[in-house]
Amino acid sequence: MPDLRVLVVEDDPVAAEAHRTYVDRLPGFACVGIAGTAGRALQVLARGDVDVVLLDMHLPDGHGLDVVRRMRALGNQTDVVAVTSAREVAAVQAAARIGVVQYVLKPFAFETLRDRLTAYARQRRAASLGEVVADQDEVDRLLHPATVSSVPKGLAGGVLDRVVQLLANREGWTAEEIATSLGTSRITARRYLEHLADQGQALRTQRYDGRSGRPKVEYSWVAES
């Protein structure tokens, strides 16, 4: 299959660039544009050269779900993956009702988006090949796709996303502080922080507390705002 063409719809320039970078790191995907408003997104979609939309829910000129409704009213059946901080149950249910194929909460680790898009691409490929389902279990898996996590060995996807959320909600964390928030050991917390730093999603700096000569390593979230 040719690369799936992705439109990033996100009004925050830092987050939009992060999502573009994530997409371009994924084999089989290519970002073909960024739209910062609902109006601009609909203009790009009208050209017909987009396979999937990474859609934020909170846009300056409208709600993301309204973008999907307008797309469908115009006959545009492009698949939509919600990438958003909207955590309301009503928003998740509404997205599912109008055919949003995945719902990813911000902030997130790169692996989270990678796993969701990989699962989406796998299902799309099966449909294009005309594959048929074998039984009810397979139907259930298609309707409620479970992703197989590709988080590095020794790390848990849920914990990794929790570390990302902590980093994004406050400037500057040490491994000890993350460990206290998670209820884990400092060594465990440091493994997650170092992974994010190695991936370019967290920045390492030095924190001097003025009480001793040895600084502590501090981590800050840099991939999104």
Tokens 């909460």 locate to 105
Above 50 in pLDDT, residue 90? yes
- pLDDT by residue (tens digit) across 128-184? 878 887 777 777 666 666 555 567 778 888 888 889 889 988 888 999 999 999 999
Same fold, 4-133 and 143-221: no
- pLDDT by residue (tens digit) across 175-225? 999 999 999 999 999 999 999 988 888 889 988 776 666 788 999 988 554
Distance, CA of 207 to CA of 184 (rounded, Å)? 22
- pLDDT by residue (tens digit) across 26-36? 999 999 999 99
Q: What is the rounded average pLDDT for all residues in the chain?
A: 87
pLDDT of residue 225: 42
Please give the average per-residue pLDDT across 71-77, as a whole number: 94
Class of domain 143-221: mainly alpha
Please give the average per-residue pLDDT across 78-97, as a whole number: 90
Q: Where are the domains positioned within the chain?
A: 4-133, 143-221
pLDDT of residue 119: 86
Top mean pLDDT of 66-70, 93-97, 105-109 is at: 66-70
CA dihedral (115, 117, 122, 127) positive or negative? positive
**pLDDT band with cut points at 50, 70 and 90 for residue 108:** confident
Tokens 């194929």 locate to 101
Please give the average per-residue pLDDT across 49-56, as a whole number: 96
pLDDT of residue 224: 55
The topology under which CATH files domain 4-133 is: Rossmann fold (3.40.50)
pLDDT of residue 109: 85
Please give the average per-residue pLDDT across 95-104, as a whole number: 90
Above 80 in pLDDT, residue 92? yes
pTM: predicted TM-score of the whole model, two decimal places: 0.72
Nearest Cα to Cα of residue 36 among 60, 17, 10: 10
